[in-house]
Amino acid sequence: MWSISFGVWTFVSLAASVTVYEMYHLVNTNMPFRTVAGMEFSSILTYAPLTPFAFAFAMRYPIQRGNWVTRCLLHLMAGVVFTLGHIAFKAATPYGYYDAAYHEWTSAIWNSHLHVFRDPWIVLKSMFLVNVVDDISGTYLPIILVAHVISYYRRLREREIRASQLEGQLAKARLETLKSQLQPHFLFNTLHSISSLMLTDVMAADRMMTSLSDLLRMSLEQNGTQMTTLSREIEFLDVYLQIEKTRFEDRLKVTFDIAPECLDAQVPHLLLQPIVENAVRYGVSRRSSHGEICIAAKCEESELHLWIRDNGPGFAEPDDDRFKHGLGLRLTRERLEALYGRQQSCEIRNKPGEGVEVHLEMPFFVTAETSRTTVAST
């Protein structure tokens, strides 16, 4: 970065020197090339030691949709600091200051005509007012724009690489997830419930069969799909929960608390169902009375937060294998890491006697074409 910075600004300084020299030549002004080069190099090449810092700062604090107001103010202040740094370097050169009394570019420190040091505050004020607009709009702004373009390109390339890696894992992950949700004991419980209901409530048994059929159909329709909208994921989850609510009757209550702006958010397909199944299996099923599961979603700046909570007994031992290494949670972690790298997290909060909460965090983004599903508390 340092080599590129000095190389680019040296080239720009040289090109500007030739251009200005030719301009003086055309208007019959005898200005030595050495003097012209000194003025241009003093003004332009002094950006070189500042550019890597400005570039690194822009990469560290990018302007995004969720933080553009605060980040713009932050970069405006950084632009002022950039100007002060440029003034400091420029003042140390032989042609860094324009002396209006003698109409010439000279040293900002020493007055060669009066043989005295210049007043630093007067010089600083003059140079700041002359340079601040050009430095921020003409130099600092292009640097952060280039940094944002490079940062966007890097993220795009990383996403493409992760997507290509995920292609090979998607079929296995999807089948393992389907295996997790449709393993023999789940099918057995479902069919057993249907069989029992056939003798007491034929309509309920028919609804359960329909829900099971819908769940299988929706799983097959999403074959090969990596991403979907949160609204579509909740629609899939709601079908699964209809089956569980038929099994548990009045013992299971499910509450959705989804912020409307999150419905179009892109999430990995089959992200929530394995976690909710764990909540049913290890939470609600272990309660003899009322069991409740809450699914919540909230957007904060450029991040999407998802919570799945249950009021089950929790895990008595924090190192319980089902708590740390369950298939659903393991698949969730692997898929989030493959899609988002370090820009995600999957945290589990265990409260013995009070339940378990799973908190998912990932980047928030939407696509041009999305479908919305109204989610109501049930």
Q: What are the DSSP E strand ranges found in the chain? A: 97-99, 104-106, 110-111, 116-117, 227-229, 252-258, 266-268, 291-300, 303-310, 345-351, 355-363
Residue 112 to residue 110: CA distance in whole angstroms: 6
CB contact at 8 A, 218 and 239: yes
pLDDT in tens, the chain (378 residues): 899 999 999 999 999 999 999 988 888 778 888 888 988 999 999 999 999 999 999 999 999 888 899 999 999 999 999 999 999 999 888 888 877 777 777 778 877 777 788 888 888 888 888 889 999 999 999 999 999 999 889 888 888 887 777 776 765 565 455 555 444 555 676 677 677 778 777 887 788 888 878 777 776 676 556 688 999 899 888 888 888 887 777 788 999 999 999 999 999 887 888 888 888 888 888 887 788 999 999 998 889 999 999 988 887 665 555 555 566 677 778 878 877 888 899 998 887 778 899 999 999 988 755 444 334 333
Scan for tokens 């508390």, then name that residue.
377
The pTM score is: 0.51
Q: For the chain, what are the domain ranges?
A: 2-155, 182-363
The pLDDT of residue 303: 93
Mark out the alpha helices in 182-289 (DSSP H runs).
Answer: 184-200, 202-221, 230-248, 273-282
Three-state secondary structure of 175-204: HHHHHHHCCHHHHHHHHHHHHHHHHHCHHH
The pLDDT of residue 24: 85
DSSP 290: -
Contacts of residue 173, defined as CB under 8 A and 6 or more positions apart, other chains included, come to 331, 334, 335
Choose among 17, 45, 42, 44: nearest CA to 31: 17
Fold of the domain spanning 182-363: Heat Shock Protein 90 (3.30.565)
Helix (H, G, I), strand (E, B) or coil at 310: strand
Residue 101 to residue 135: CA distance in whole angstroms: 25
Burial class from Cβ neighbours inside 10 Å (0-12, 13-18, 19+) for residue 297 reads buried
Q: Which amino acid is at 93?
A: T
The pLDDT of residue 246: 79
Mark out the alpha helices in 283-357 (DSSP H runs).
Answer: 321-325, 327-340
Exposure string for 62-84, b = 16+ CB within 10 A, e = fewer: bbeeeeeeebeeebeebbeebbb
Helix (H, G, I), strand (E, B) or coil at 209: helix
Contacts of residue 79, defined as CB under 8 A and 6 or more positions apart, other chains included, come to 135, 136, 140, 141
The pLDDT of residue 314: 81
Residue 169 to residue 186: CA distance in whole angstroms: 25
Helix (H, G, I), strand (E, B) or coil at 232: helix
The pLDDT of residue 216: 72
